[in-house]
Amino acid sequence: MVDGIDGLLGGLSSVSFAATGIILWFDGQYSLAMWCFAMIAAILPYILLNLGCAWPSL
């Protein structure tokens, strides 16, 4: 389980989508590659939010 660690899930997902997108791009499947890059763009705000300071427990 990687969901409890700040930014790890988003980071791993981004790397996976980037690698898949690059492979698809060089294979000529541009629509699927663009979908992978769009997923990275959707995950990026989540990563930036989780890289900040941890919220204090109340």
CA distance 35 to 45: 17
Domain assignment present for 2: no
Range of the domain at 25: 8-50
- Does 58 reside within a domain? no
Residue 33 lies in a domain: yes
Confidence of residue 48 (pLDDT cuts 50, 70, 90): confident
Say how far apart CA 23 and CA 17 lie, in whole Å: 10
Could you read off the pLDDT of 49-58 as tens digits, one per residue?
Answer: 877 665 665 5
pLDDT at residue number 25: 97
- Give per-residue pLDDT as tens, 13-47: 999 999 999 999 999 999 999 999 999 999 998 88
Q: Look at residue 34 and tell me if it is in a domain.
A: yes
Q: What local confidence, expressed as pLDDT, does residue 46 receive?
A: 85
Asked whether residue 20 is domain-assigned, the answer is yes
Instruction: Judge whether 1 lies within some domain.
Output: no
- Domain count of the fold of the chain: 1
56 domain residue, yes or no: no
pLDDT at 49: 80
